[in-house]
């Protein structure tokens, strides 16, 4: 099967600081891939590199056969990459409805009706300020906002961070439903139990390099290696 995304030899810099030294990751259509690694390994930087948010990047980022490495920042989303950053980016003084409309919708994006089917609680809170939402609701709003733009690949940076276990479960349920609809995801996650409930394959990242990869059913066999690299 043709890869949806093929990242090859991706390097990235913040100013003079060389952080990514060669990231090789593939995501097949409909697949969920998790990036795991200790703090500072370069997980967030990898997602930011894909969105062209670093000061400099090199390598190849081939999406559906087209290399995006020279694509300007403002055109990345239109190529089907939808980024949900760790800090979520909810504007606290804008309403939920206004937050939802901040990103331009593309033809392929979810309709409001589809969004509210997935996120009924957001519909109930459309008039509330973003700042009044719970952490879980803010995370859902951040995901919903990106789904309206019609991504073919969802990039999620630690979607469960700081959320109570029952909310983590809801987010997991939601992401599995999106996956069941065929949406591909590249997930950064420190909560390994959560990642195991969602990901088809894992990549280990260490010091800005991919140190290994394995399928979900090979997780146990790789547990020692994961512990050594992730430090759990």
Ligand X SMILES: Nc1ncnc2c1ncn2[C@@H]1O[C@H](COP(=O)(O)OP(=O)(O)OP(=O)(O)O)[C@@H](O)[C@H]1O
Report what 151 binds from Mg ion, ligand X, none; CB cut-off 5-8 Å by kind.
none
Query: What is the residue whose two structure tokens read 């952080």?
Result: 19
Stretch that binds Mg ion, among 43-51, 66-74, 160-168, 220-228 (CB under 5 A): 43-51
Length of the chain: 232
Q: Does 14 bind ligand X (CB under 6 A)?
A: yes
**Minimum gap (Å) between residue 51 Cβ and ligand X:** 13
Strands across the sheet containing 5-14: 66-67, 56-63, 5-14, 17-27, 209-215, 201-206, 32-36, 184-188, 153-157, 81-84
- CB-CB contact of 121 with 143 (8 Å): no
Question: CB 128: neighbour CB atoms within 10 A?
Answer: 15
Contact string (CB under 6 A) for ligand X, positions 27-66, x = contact: ----------x-xxxxxxx---------------------
Q: Does 213 bind Mg ion (CB under 5 A)?
A: no
Give the CA count within 13 Å in the CB-facing half-sphere of 31.
Answer: 18
- Which does residue 160 bind out of ligand X, Mg ion, none, counting CB within 5 to 8 angstroms by kind? none
- Token pair, residue 208, equals 């800005």
CB nearer to Mg ion: pick between 11 and 44: 44
Residues binding Mg ion (CB under 5 A): 43-44
Interface ranges with ligand X (CB under 6 A): 14, 17, 19, 37, 39-45
């Amino acid at each position: 099967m043709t890869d949806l995304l093929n990242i090859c030899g991706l390097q990235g810099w913040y100013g003079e600081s060389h952080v990514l030294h060669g990231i090789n990751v593939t995501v097949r259509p409909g697949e969920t891939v998790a990036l795991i690694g200790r703090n500072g390994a370069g997980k967030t930087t990898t997602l930011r590199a894909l969105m062209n948010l670093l000061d400099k990047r090199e390598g190849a980022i081939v999406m559906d056969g087209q290399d995006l490495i020279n694509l300007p920042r403002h055109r990345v989303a239109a190529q089907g990459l939808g980024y949900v950053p760790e800090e979520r980016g909810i504007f606290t003084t804008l309403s939920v409805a206004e937050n939802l409309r901040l990103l331009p919708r593309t033809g392929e994006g979810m309709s409001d009706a589809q969004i509210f089917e997935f996120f009924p609680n957001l519909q109930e809170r459309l008039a509330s300020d973003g700042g009044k939402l719970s952490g879980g609701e803010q995370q859902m709003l951040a995901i919903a906002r990106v789904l309206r733009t019609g991504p073919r690949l969802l990039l999620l940076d630690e979607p469960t961070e700081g959320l109570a276990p029952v909310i983590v479960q809801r987010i997991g349920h939601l992401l599995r439903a999106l996956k069941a609809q065929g949406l591909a995801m590249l997930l950064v996650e420190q909560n390994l139990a959560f990642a195991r409930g969602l990901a088809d394959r894992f990549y280990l990242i260490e010091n800005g390099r991919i140190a290994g990869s394995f399928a979900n059913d090979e997780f146990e066999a790789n547990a020692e290696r994961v512990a050594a690299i992730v430090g759990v």
